[in-house]
Chain A
């Protein structure tokens, strides 16, 4: 039965089709492969989520090797929810990509982009679906290495240094992670997450485990863009091709957050995190991120970089949610993983449209775009409302849960800081809106037209999703709540 093999198909379809693009060496066929694979993955993820929401978590044994020895793929609600986000964003981005890629990547290298995209895509999906800490490392490397290539495809020469910097820091992160895994293996003799979790309580007091947790946190933190080890992120986002930025911003850091959740709550448990006390450290880092990074975003002159700093700040919200170690807090974090994916992808897609037309992402150069690209800029405004957390958008829903979680803990300062940083978001977002709508285009600048329909349609699908999931919250809240509950129940 094919449906029994869905978990492995989820990863292996894009992985195996990546070399196909390499064989074709042509733009159009490679794009078609990437498009079909992305949509197939999306369909599989949707089916998987449907299955785990109604039934039990799915466990899939690779090659039928029994669990602690063989590699196990595990799909619970959390995994399926993140799979849906990653594959959904991939599917939309692939619809959107051709127009933007043609303008930003030399024709003879476009097939490379699609190859690398498929590898990143399968790596990210693999990180989510695997139930094995070492296998997670393997997929992390697959996605990271291909990501470095994608970033370096950017036209500006600075893309190279940005990619190199990311490569150095990313490799440090991955190495830290694998060192942590090594310590865990040394103490428990196993790599299967559930199995490690079983054996861990016996040795949880040891210094080795403490060190392991430290390495794992920093390692994942580096990939996640956790403040203050986010330094690779702004450059990477700024100089990568726009489509790459849109894809990475919505998926790569989110999958890292997922990995953090897995390590903290599936492998370790709430008591261990509290004992060390990582929760307080994370809370402080999260708060520092949302305030300082939002403030830094205000002073950017390049809209891609502005949104990149905003991403670091938004990751802070997820970290804050997680650091509460309560069901509402975790649900808020998981919700924001999904919701922020939707809004940031839409915002970066707008920037891709803008770059296509004016060949610049300087805020100054966006003057007058409200008139000449009305649909694109309207999408920017709506997605920006979502970023700020205006009601009827997804941003409002995550913020509601995040503040509820902090009030539950009587943590007024956190609630106030979250609201304060939303106001900073108003400032940096409105800066762009004002210039785009109220400053006329420079005299003598070439007239520009609206983005092509093939880009506008996927963009507006995402904007629609921002509003749809802001009003119909059944799916997202049920999933996030179920995920949070299962994460909290894992502990003894």
Chain B
């Protein structure tokens, strides 16, 4: 099979899968098999493109021209490959987890759930392989719309309210700002193709470039820069597998991925450095980074705490993009992968605690480590990675980003990163301390639906397997970071060393 066909296959497989899920909805076991088979096929399709990429190939395919001069084009390049691998690979793990979670909690409308999940994954892969800004925008929008029914899955009033926030912020930023920026770019340059070195150089004045940069960055609502971050905590009302894969990996990473794409291929790293617009962006990102960590510290709801942690971690990547040096771009891209593994592990754990014991608050987790040792061990691994401590994957990406800050002579941001690491330790370690060191609450004070008698009570086995895979992945990423850096190297090669 030619690489071009494989790309189309990667977009098409989840769509076919979603149809299969609809058709087999009456038979849950077959339906879940359909999800798993689709996920594995998708992952294999994406993986099969890796050798082509490493050999220096950039396979590209244009199935449609939707406006004169504007195509739907898919091109495989290192950054997109990274995102595609992460999204499709973790979908397999997440599907295992979903089966345990959705059945364990006896959720309604499971067919609808798996159906939209598959559509969301198809659009995430579409974002990853988009060859121009229009294609990226189209799949970005489909991703927003297809995840809405997942956020409002329960159909309860608070879910609908959150759904409104979710859709409201994501659609208004993308239609109101991002689309404007895209059409402006098209008007100024006559192209929307992703080209290394960017397309804006010498086409617009530096003032316009600064304005465009901000319209783009705030138009990409999925990157959750403050003050347009509210949709992400709102999305936590969704079932945990959605929070885990979509709101820690696919959707939010689609946001920062778009940020990186825009910075690298639309603006061009050198051009952006020359314009001076990036310092303001870096400051906004640094503010979001610190503020979100502080908010996370104050959240008692476990998923809300993780959501704010995500907002903070996403800003690492935006800040890395704004620093626009070789090392920071590599680090930012790597962080897409590292944070994905770490955060999905943490969300899996949060969901497992809910499924097994119906606990959602940090303050209720006293002694839970004794009931769920495997889950909480995984939580430890995930936390270490988020904080950026070795031997977890998160250490490498932070290292590269900080190196980038030093390279750019922006020492202040080095301090921001260090402060943020301390803050993330401050909001994650207390959870572990409660879980492992505090005694279990006595029977009387605990809520009625929690059964603390008996020994170890873990989540259903499907979920537990998924947690173990994710945690192992987080650990292994520490050793494979070199391979990642190698794959991503072309991104930085165009940057002139300062």
Task: Give me 24 A-to-B residue pairs in the complex whose CB atoms sit less than 8 angstroms apart, sorted by A's number.
Answer: A389-B175, A390-B145, A391-B138, A391-B142, A392-B138, A403-B179, A403-B183, A407-B187, A415-B180, A416-B180, A419-B179, A422-B175, A422-B176, A423-B175, A426-B168, A426-B171, A426-B172, A434-B163, A438-B152, A438-B160, A472-B64, A473-B66, A473-B67, A477-B67
1/0 per position for B50-81, CB-CB distance to A under 8 A? 00000000000000101110000000000000
Which residues on the B side are within 8 Å of A400 (C-beta)? Answer: 67, 183
Question: In the complex the two chains form, what is the Cα distance from A121 to B137 in whole Å?
Answer: 40
Q: Are B66 and A420 in contact (CB under 8 A)?
A: no
User: Are B66 and A470 in contact, with the CB atoms below 8 A?
Assistant: yes
A408 and B190 alpha carbons, distance in the complex (Å): 12
Taking the complex as formed, is B141 at the interface, i.e. its CB lies under 8 A from any CB of chain A? yes
**Least Cβ distance of B144 to chain A in Å?**
9
CA distance A6 to B183 in the complex (A): 41
The 6 A-B pairs with the shortest beta carbon distances in the complex, nearest first, are: A391-B138, A419-B176, A407-B187, A403-B183, A438-B155, A423-B172
Chain B: minimal CB distance from A397 (Å): 7
| B184 within 8 Å of A (CB atoms) | yes
User: Is the CB–CB distance between B141 and A391 below 8 Å?
Assistant: yes
B167 interface residue, CB < 8 Å from A?
yes
Residues of chain B with a CB closer than 8 A to A164's CB:
none
Tell me, rounded to whole Å, the shortest Cβ–Cβ distance linking A476 to chain B: 10
Q: Inter-chain contact count A-B, CB under 8 Å?
A: 66
**Count of interface residues, chain B, beta-carbon cutoff 8 Å:** 27
Residue B399 at the A interface, CB < 8 A? no
Contact of B67 with A408 in the complex, beta carbons under 8 Å: no
Asked whether B137 lies within 8 Å of A391 as measured between CB atoms, the reply is: yes
User: Which residues of B have CB within 8 Å of A385?
Assistant: 145
- Indicate if A404 sits at the interface (CB-CB under 8 A): yes
Residues of B within 8 A of A472 (CB): 64, 66
Residue B287 CB within 8 A of the other chain: no
**B429 within 8 Å of A by Cβ?**
no
A471 touches B66 (CB 8 A): yes
Residue of A nearest to B155 (CB): A438
The B contact surface, by secondary structure, is: helix
> Contact at A419–B68, with CB atoms within 8 Å?
no
Nearest chain A residue, comparing its CB with the CB of B64: A471
| B186 lies within 8 A of chain A by Cβ | yes
B187 nearest in chain A by CB position? A407
Nearest neighbor of A407 in chain B, beta-carbon distance: B187
A363-399 residues with Cβ-Cβ distance < 8 A to B are 385, 388-392, 397
Judge whether A430 is part of the interface by a CB distance below 8 angstroms. Answer: yes
Q: Are B183 and A407 in contact (CB under 8 A)?
A: yes
Tally chain A residues at the interface, Cβ within 8 Å: 27
The minimal Cβ–Cβ distance linking A298 to chain B, given in whole angstroms, is: 13
On chain B, the residues within 8 Å of A470 by CB distance are 66
Mark each residue of chain A from 77 to 97: 1 if its CB lies under 8 Å from any CB of chain B, else 0. Answer: 000000000000000000000
Q: Which residues of A contact B145 (CB under 8 A)?
A: 385, 390
User: Smallest CB–CB gap between A223 and chain B, Å?
Assistant: 31
- Cβ A397 vs Cβ B176 within 8 A: no
Kindly state the separation between the CA atoms of A392 and B63 in the bound complex, as whole angstroms.
Answer: 14
Chain A residues whose C-beta falls within 8 Å of the C-beta of B176 in the assembled complex: 416, 419-420, 422-423
Which residues of chain B come closer than 8 Å to A473, judged between CB atoms? 66-68
**Contacts A400-B67, A438-B152; is A426 near B167 (CB within 8 Å)?**
yes
Chain B residue nearest to A470 in the complex (CB): B66
Question: What A residues does B164 contact at CB under 8 A?
Answer: 430, 434
Q: A392 contacts which chain B residues (CB < 8 A)?
A: 66, 138, 142
- CA separation between A473 and B71, bound complex, in Å? 11
Chain B's closest residue to A415 (CB) is B180
Chain B nearest Cβ from A313, distance in angstroms: 15
Check if B183 sits within 8 Å of A404, measured CB to CB. Answer: yes
15 additional A-B pairs beyond A389-B175, A408-B187, A419-B179, beta carbons within 8 Å, are A385-B145, A388-B171, A388-B175, A392-B142, A397-B67, A400-B67, A403-B179, A407-B183, A416-B176, A419-B175, A422-B175, A423-B171, A426-B172, A430-B167, A473-B66
Instruction: List the A side residues contacting B184 at CB < 8 Å.
Output: 407
Which residue of A is nearest B157, CB measured? A438
Which A-chain residue is minimally distant from B67 (CB atoms)?
Answer: A473
Inter-chain CA distance A419–B180, complex, in Å, is 8
How far, in Å, is A369 (CB) from chain B's closest CB? 14
Docked complex Cα distance between A389 and B179 (Å): 11
Q: A403–B164 Cα gap in the complex (Å)?
A: 26
Kindly identify, within residues 335 to 379 of chain B, every residue whose CB is under 8 Å from any CB belonging to chain A. Answer: none
A390 to B142, alpha carbons, bound, how many Å?
A: 9
Which residue of B has the minimal Cβ distance to A402? B183
Complex Cα distance A420/B145, Å? 19
Q: Which of A456-489 contact B (CB under 8 A)?
A: 470-473, 477
A415 CA / B187 CA spacing, docked (Å): 13
Which A residue sits closest to B167, measured CB to CB? A430
Q: CA separation between A388 and B145, bound complex, in Å?
A: 12
Partner of B160, one of A391, A403, A420, A434: A434
Contacting A at CB under 8 A, from B3-52, are none
A404 B141 Cβ-Cβ under 8 A? no
Residues of the A chain whose Cβ atoms lie less than 8 Å from the Cβ of B180: 403, 415-416, 419
Q: A415-B180, A416-B180 are in contact. Are A390 and B141 (CB under 8 A)?
A: yes
For residue B109, which residue of chain A has the nearest CB?
A371
